[in-house]
C-alpha cells in the first residue's frame, strides 16, 4: 500500500487552494445533519460526518437538467444542451462512490447518456473513509465499505493526520500542484490498515442482513408472492421519499416548458420515483403499477433483481437513507430481507 500524508492544516490549505481555482462541493452542516453543498471556505468542510441528507449523486445527475432549448416562433429551432462544467466533490463516502460507479455503468451501457457522461467527466472526486456510521447504515452487508475505483483521491483520518491514497493520475497531479504532503511512514501505513480492517464492524450489530448479496436476490425471488409486500404497503404514503434520497435511483421524467413569451422553451428532466402513484401511468391513463403493494415491491425487485442482473451485484449500497426517512418505517431493506428469509 502506498499513501501520502497530509496534516490537518495542509489538508485545509489544499482544499482552500482547490476553492481558489474552481468550483468545490463538500460536506457541510445542515440543520443538525449534513449535506453536500457549494464550499465557500475550507473550514466549512466536515469530514467526520455519518451520512448526508441527499447523496452526492445530485451533482452527477442533477434534480433538474435542461436537455434541449427550442423556439417555436418565428420558426421552429431546436438546440441540444449539455450543462457540464468542472467541479471537485470532496467527502464522498465509499458507499456513495460505489453508487456513482454503478450509475456510470448504467448510463454508459447501450444508449450512452451524453448529458450524464459529459458531466461525470467534469467531476474530480475526493473520497473519505467514514469515521462513524449512521444508526441506519448497513453498508457492511452490501459490500460497500471498500471501493477500488471512482475516486481521484481517498482520504483516511489516521488520528489528527490524513492518509491520502491516489486513485488516478489526475488526483496525483492535483495533490502535487496544490498540497504540501509527506510520504507515509511504515507506522502510518500500519495505522491506515488497522482503520480499514475495523470498518466492517462500524455499522451497528442490528444493522445486518443475514444473507450474502447474491442470496438476497434469491430470497426476494422465492418470496415474490409473500404477504409481506401487501402488509407493509398498507402503511405506504406513496411519497417516494425512499426513491428520492437513494444514491442508486436514477429514474427521471422528461418535461417541457414554454416561456411566457410563448416563443422559447426548453425540455428538461427531473428525478422521478417508482413509489409515486403516477410513475407507471401512461398517456391513455392506464397505470401499470396502480396498487401501493405493486409499487412497494417493485423497488426491491428493481434493486436486488433486475439491476442486480445487469450489474452482477444489487443496486443497493446500504447507506440506510431509505430506512431513516420512511416515517411509517416500512422501507428498511434490513428488516424486509431478514423477515422474508425467516418466512417458510
Partner 1 sequence: MTKPKVAFFDFASCEGDQLQIANLEEKLLELLEHVEVVSFREVMKEHSDDYDIAFIEGSCTREADEARLKKIRSNAKIVVAIGACATIAGINALKNTRPLDQVRKEVYGDNAKWYETYAARPIDAVITVDFKLHGCPIRGDEFLALCKALLTGQKFVVPDYPVCAECKLAENVCVFEKGMTCVGPVTRAGCGACCVTQGAVCWGCRGLVDDPNKNAHKEVLDKYGLKAEEVMNKFNLYFAYQGGPK
- Longest CA pairwise span in the chain (Å): 71
Judged by CB, which is closer to partner 1: 108, or 253? 253
Q: Classify each residue of 159-194 as buried b or exposed e, where b means 16 or more C-beta atoms within 10 Å of its C-beta.
A: eebbbbbbbeeebeebbeeebebeebeeebbebbee
Using DSSP, state whether 20 is helix, strand or coil. Answer: helix
Q: Which stretch binds partner 1 (CB under 8 A): 117-125, 165-173, 192-200, 256-264?
A: 256-264
Q: Is 46 in the site for partner 1 (CB under 8 A)?
A: no
- Please tell me the count of residues contacting partner 1 according to CB under 8 A: 32
Judged by CB, which is closer to partner 1: 20, or 30? 30
CA angle 289, 291, 294 (to 5 degrees): 60
Q: In what order do the strands lie in the sheet with 153-157?
A: 33-38, 23-30, 87-92, 123-128, 153-157, 161-166, 4-7, 182-183
Residues 156-195 that bind partner 1 (CB under 8 A): none
- Contacts with partner 1, 284-323, as mask; x by CB under 8 A: --------x-------------------------------
Query: How far apart are the C-alpha atoms of 202 and 38, rounded to whole Å?
Result: 29
Judged by CB, which is closer to partner 1: 172, or 264? 264
Residues 19-38 that bind partner 1 (CB under 8 A): 30-33, 35
Q: Is 236 in the site for partner 1 (CB under 8 A)?
A: yes
Sign of CA pseudo-dihedral 122, 6, 44, 103: positive
Provide, rounded to whole angstroms, the least separation between the CB of residue 165 and partner 1: 29
Beta strands 153-157 and 123-128 are: parallel
Judged by CB, which is closer to partner 1: 272, or 313? 272
Interface residues with partner 1 (CB under 8 A) are 30-33, 35, 53-54, 63, 234-241, 244-245, 257-258, 260-262, 271, 273, 276-278, 292, 325, 327-328
Amino acid at each position: 500500500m502506498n499513501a501520502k500524508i497530509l496534516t490537518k492544516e495542509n489538508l485545509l490549505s489544499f482544499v482552500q487552494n482547490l476553492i481558489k481555482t474552481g468550483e468545490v462541493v463538500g460536506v457541510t452542516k445542515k440543520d443538525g445533519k449534513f449535506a453536500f453543498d457549494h464550499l465557500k471556505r475550507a473550514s466549512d468542510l466536515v469530514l467526520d460526518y455519518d451520512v448526508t441528507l441527499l447523496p452526492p449523486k445530485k451533482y452527477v445527475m442533477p434534480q433538474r437538467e435542461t436537455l434541449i432549448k427550442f423556439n417555436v416562433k418565428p420558426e421552429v429551432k431546436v438546440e441540444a444542451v449539455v450543462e457540464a462544467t468542472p467541479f471537485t466533490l470532496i467527502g464522498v463516502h465509499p458507499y456513495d462512490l460505489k453508487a456513482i460507479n454503478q450509475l456510470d455503468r448504467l448510463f454508459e451501457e447501450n444508449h450512452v447518456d451524453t448529458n450524464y457522461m459529459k458531466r461525470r467527466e467534469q467531476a474530480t472526486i475526493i473520497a473519505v473513509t467514514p469515521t462513524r456510521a449512521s444508526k441506519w447504515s448497513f453498508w457492511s452487508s452490501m459490500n460497500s465499505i471498500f471501493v477500488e475505483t471512482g475516486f481521484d483521491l481517498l482520504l483516511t483520518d489516521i488520528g489528527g493526520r490524513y492518509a491520502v491514497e491516489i486513485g488516478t493520475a489526475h488526483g496525483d497531479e492535483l495533490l502535487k500542484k496544490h498540497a504540501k504532503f509527506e510520504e507515509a511512514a511504515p507506522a502510518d501505513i500500519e495505522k491506515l490498515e488497522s482503520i480499514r480492517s475495523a470498518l466492517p464492524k462500524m455499522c451497528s450489530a442490528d444493522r445486518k442482513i443475514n444473507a450474502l448479496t447474491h442470496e438476497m436476490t434469491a430470497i426476494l425471488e422465492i418470496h415474490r408472492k409473500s404477504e409481506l409486500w401487501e402488509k407493509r404497503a398498507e402503511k405506504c404514503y406513496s411519497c417516494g421519499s425512499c426513491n428520492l434520497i437513494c444514491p442508486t435511483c436514477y429514474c427521471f421524467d422528461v418535461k417541457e416548458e414554454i416561456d411566457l413569451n410563448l416563443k422559447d422553451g426548453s425540455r428538461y428532466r427531473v428525478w422521478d420515483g417508482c413509489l409515486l402513484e403516477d410513475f407507471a401511468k401512461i398517456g391513455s391513463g392506464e397505470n401499470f403499477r396502480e396498487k401501493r403493494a405493486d409499487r412497494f415491491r417493485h423497488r426491491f425487485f428493481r434493486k436486488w433483481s433486475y439491476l442486480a442482473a445487469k450489474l452482477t451485484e444489487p443496486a443497493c449500497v446500504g447507506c440506510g437513507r431509505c430506512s431513516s426517512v420512511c416515517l411509517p418505517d416500512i422501507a428498511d431493506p434490513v428488516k424486509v430481507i431478514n423477515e422474508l428469509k425467516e418466512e417458510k
